[in-house]
Amino acid sequence: MNIVSIAIKEMKTSFRNPTTLFFALGLPVILILALGTIFLDSFKSTITIGDMKVLYMEQPNTPFSKEFQMFMNEASNSKVFFEKAENPEDSKKKVEQNSYDGYVELNKHGIYFYQNDNKTIGGNVIQGMLNTFVDQSNLANSAKVDQLVLMTMDMKDDYIKETTIYSNKQPRAIDYFSVSMTTMMILFGTANAIHLISEERKRNTADRLIVAPITKLEIFLGKIFGSVFINTFYFLVVIVISKYIFNANWGANLGVVIFVLITEVFLATSLGVIIGSITKSAKVANSVIQVVAIVTTIFSGTFYKMEDISGVFYLNPLNWVNEAILDLIYANDFSTATLAIVLNIVVSLLFLLVTITLLHRREGL
């Protein structure tokens, strides 16, 4: 009961502090909106290709003439338009001058494709489409199936297919910064945890707590739980605002995402109390936290996407938490989330164990 009373007291104190409310709620919401707007185009993974123009010339008695006519008709659906050429040399020059994306020549031996030496995106797209056409024709010949029937069945708009780790699911700027600003805000909550004990000394209430019928462990746990509860409430408010007002994507595994963030709150709180206990001075503790926060933020994916987190960079809690949440949202991958949860809890318990040991050896708080 004593632990609950102290926890409630810590939550009330936090709510009454306007500075804490601004940094816990106002600042992350402002940063999410600002960064999500500023870096809107930086997170776009699609490339828009305009109309592609191709010259072609067909010699008489080409065995797959009908199939190629079907191919050209279907290619127009993919913004690839074929124009009949009159002279091969003039057509090649036009391609070299980038007036056309390619030149196709058909004869009884096969298809010959010419593109600029610079190999434009359009030329590569057309080459891929022609390769698909040739593969289908070869399959028809080997299977002794009428080519026209096979081409009618297999001809599609999507001649070129892309496969990525996250398929078509990639975070927009507002999605990414909703995650990174939330995790950063939680880590900066370490500064509040520093004052859990020092504020009692500053207000001269530490001695009253010591003489009260309550143990040091109860005081310590009450303050820890109060800090964890209030910071959990803060990040839940940020999630609600970003999800329902900014339309940020938090995925289908929101419950697991929240649990990962709760363990980060636990880590930030335990880090704050151990720094506060070791330094004994609020000014020194604040200086240490500022250095830790700045270094952690710089060497993390807070303001930019880190594609592959490994080595010494993975020792940064912001990195492993951000990676875990993004994997949950866009890859439905629980493995990194499990690792992040274990790391957060183990490191937190280690910090708390050291802090409790220091409190037992110290007179008063």
Q: Which of 154, 187, 222 is the endpoint of a domain?
A: 154
Q: How crowded is the C-beta side of 252, counted as CA atoms within 13 Å? A: 6
110 and 207 inside one domain = no
Per-residue pLDDT band at 155 (split at 50, 70, 90):
very low
Map residue 114 onto helix, strand or coil: strand
Quick check: is 332 in a domain?
yes
Q: Which of 154, 179, 212 corresponds to the end of one domain? A: 154
The pLDDT value recorded for residue 196 is: 63
Residue 152: band (very low, low, confident or very high) from pLDDT cuts 50, 70, 90:
very low
Q: Mean pLDDT throughout 321-341? A: 92
Range of the domain at 224: 2-43+170-361
Whether the pLDDT of residue 160 is over 50: the answer is no
* Position 151 pLDDT exceeds 50: no
CA distances from 224 to 219, 240, 266, 276 (A): 9, 24, 8, 13
Query: Is residue 165 a part of any domain in this protein?
Result: no
Query: Residue 102 pairs with which residues in a beta bridge?
Result: 54
- Quick check: 18 pLDDT over 90? no
Give domain status of residue 162, yes or no: no
Binned at pLDDT 50, 70 and 90, residue 181 comes out as very high
Whether 329 shows a pLDDT value over 70: the answer reads yes
Residues 243 and 348 in one domain: yes
User: Do 331 and 212 share a domain, yes or no?
Assistant: yes
Alpha-carbon torsion (212, 213, 215, 221), positive or negative: negative
Q: Do 17 and 79 belong together in one domain?
A: no
Write the pLDDT tens digit of every residue in 184-194: 999 888 877 76
Residues 315, 180, single domain; the answer is: yes
pLDDT in tens, 192-227: 776 666 665 556 555 555 555 567 677 778 888 888
pLDDT of the residue at 91 = 86
Q: With contact defined as beta carbons under 8 Å apart, do 129 and 78 qualify?
A: yes
Task: Please check whether residue 160 lies inside any domain of the structure.
Answer: no
Q: Tell me the per-residue pLDDT of 51-109, one tens digit each, with 9 for 90 and over.
A: 888 888 888 877 778 878 888 888 888 788 899 888 888 888 888 888 888 888 888 77
Does residue 128 lie within any of the structural domains?
Answer: yes
Percent of the chain with pLDDT over 70: 76
Structural domain includes residue 164? no
Q: Are residues 104 and 176 in the same domain?
A: no
pLDDT for the residue numbered 148: 34
Structural domains of the chain, count:
2
What is the predicted pLDDT for the residue at 34? 92
Do both 67 and 10 map to the same domain? no
**289 within domain boundaries:** yes
Calpha distance 287→297 (Å, rounded): 15
For position 289, what pLDDT does the model report? Answer: 79
CATH number at residue 110: 3.40.190
Is 161 among the domain residues? no
Considering the domain architecture, whether residues 35 and 56 belong to the same structural domain is answered as no
| 168 vs 237 pLDDT, higher one | 237
Do 39 and 56 reside in the same domain of the chain? no
pLDDT over 90, % of the chain:
23
Same domain, 59 and 181: no
Cα–Cα distances in angstroms (integers) from residue 353 to residues 194, 221, 324, 344, 346, in the given order: 16, 12, 26, 14, 11
| In a shared domain, residues 131 and 206 | no
Task: Specify whether 231 is located in the same domain as 353.
Answer: yes
**What pLDDT shows up at residue 249?**
94
Position 202 scores a pLDDT of 59
Lowest-confidence segment of 65-74, 158-167, 280-289, 347-356 by average pLDDT: 158-167
Dist. CA 125–CA 111, nearest whole Å? 16
